Structure 1
Amino acid sequence: MLDKKNSTTVIYPSLAGRHALVSGGATGIGEALVRALTLQGCFVSFFDIDQVAGNALAQELTASGAQVHFTGVDLSDIECLQTSIAARIQRWGAIRILINNAADDQRHGLQDVTSEQFDLCMSVNLKHHFFAAQVVAPAMAEAGGGSIINMSSNSWLLGLTGYPGYVAAKAGIYGLSKSLARELGPQKIRVNTVLPGWVMTQKQKNLWLTPESETELMSQQSLKEKIQPDDVADLVLFLASDNSRMISGQSFVIDGGRL
């Protein structure tokens, strides 16, 4: 039996027993999503290119009683992605919750990016959202509908510099979600976008967080606390549940009031 991670965790009865898929689920925000969904009683499939971290998380959660399965997937390989999704549908049935989370925010400058690097940036940060939805939607519709949640970023709303390809991809996710919400709505499939601000994952703390950048961030946020992965997971759980059954085509910013 799983223990709730803390006393403030909200339980959504509609999530229990549903099959959820999280891309980029081995670390960071994705790991928080996987853990949160298992606490809701979901059957959780998750993909990641980091097989060491993915296997470790799956083993830990399985030992605690969760229904969870990890598959190592390079999301830039669309054939592998779709084949892996089909295998999970065959094993656990229709995916009722799809969370397109995987991304790579490596810094780069305008003059430094080749055409091949730009294509890879789009593939890792945008393209897989489209093709995961493509293969998930038919079974989701047949099962009675579901929720697709695309993880974007507030970076494109802020017009942040230092990674223009990433920012462009995250803006594209907004447009994709709006279009898919219209297309899939008649099949009772909801599509929404979550735009996190600077979330303090271990990667961010290791690579980018400095005392100076933290001071600047706190000066910009209305709420003077750092955003944690669990803060994002709490919002995603609501959007995945039937409690948000009439919400689709919308975007939700979670950035401590920075915008």
Structure 2
Amino acid sequence: MTEYLDTPQGRRIAYRRTEGKGPGIVFLGGFKSDMQGTKALYLEDWARRQGRAFLRFDYSGHGDSSGLFEEGAIGDWFADAASVLTTLTQGPQVLVGSSMGGWISLLLARAMPQRVAGLVTIAAAPDFTEQGFWAGFDATARAELLDKGRLELPSEYGPDPYVITRRLIEDGRDHLVMGQALPLPFPVRLLQGTADEDVPVQWALDLLNHATGKDIRLTLVKDADHRFSTDACLALISDAVGEVVA
């Protein structure tokens, strides 16, 4: 059953929680995705069979949560995730971050490492507003974004375009993780497909090289795309979560 959390910022966050033993697992979805995705549902079922606590949720402007997507930014979604983690879970949790959720999970790990038991990322996209969107815009697109405050990009994942706002870019710069120390003092498993057209393999290598910790491993999967949702990929995700939990 979907429940709702009212955050200190006045946003209403939809979530679904499965009771079980700890450390629990918290799934953090991607940019413009929701908690009904294949990976979230697969992991929920896996956790239930393990008797382990599991939580999935929608950031504001996503899924069943309040707000409009194009009014949101990384700082808002980080605050949503922080409220979810501190209010709806007890003790250290294993964070599973997909795409943008990988960035959000790294922000959580930096801000409250005592609440993180381990980290699994799937095509993690840290700093993507800067090294992805802004770096990829030509002078005309940048001028339009700065002048009009928004830019519409076609999406491969649905008929609606991605609306990129000036606020998204500027707020993203306040939450970058790749330009400063990133200690991850717990087990970390990074998963990345080599056929991912949204997150380059180099980003995964850069994250592996940049983060510090005693137990950080990167798995590259040949020909896997950004969705990372084939049966084999899903099994790799649950295997990685199981490793971290153990």
TMscore range, shorter length: 0.3 to 0.5
Please, what TM-score do these two structures have when normalized by structure 2?
A: 0.46
Answer 1 or 2: higher relative contact order, Cα 8 Å, separation at least 6.
1
More helix by share: 1
More strand by share: 2
